[in-house]
Amino acid sequence: MSDEELGSVRFRMLEPEPEIKRAMAFGDDYRLLGTRRDRIAGLGNAVVPSVAEWITGRCMAVLRAEAA
């Protein structure tokens, strides 16, 4: 990429709702609280719901195996 092309590149910050929330696979009905900064930080620190569900399932399988 030339310096001229690089100079023409523009970007904008994603909005926490709906852009970041959708990118992180949270439903449109998932409610975020706090300031814009708080919501962005919370989404940035979040685990995608499908991954959280998988992790929880694996933990439950281990706990059930130990209880047996």
Given a cut of 90, is residue 12 above it in pLDDT? Answer: no
The residue written with tokens 């130990």 in the block is 66
The whole-model pTM stands at 0.60
Tell which residue, 64, 25, 61, 67, has the closest CA to residue 43: 25
In tens, the pLDDT along 29-68 reads 999 999 999 999 999 999 888 899 999 999 999 999 988 7
* pLDDT for position 3: 80
CA distance 43 to 34: 12
Given a cut of 80, is residue 1 above it in pLDDT? Answer: no
CA distance 64 to 59: 9
Residue 20 DSSP code: I
pLDDT confidence band for 9 (50 / 70 / 90): confident
Total number of residues shown for the chain: 68
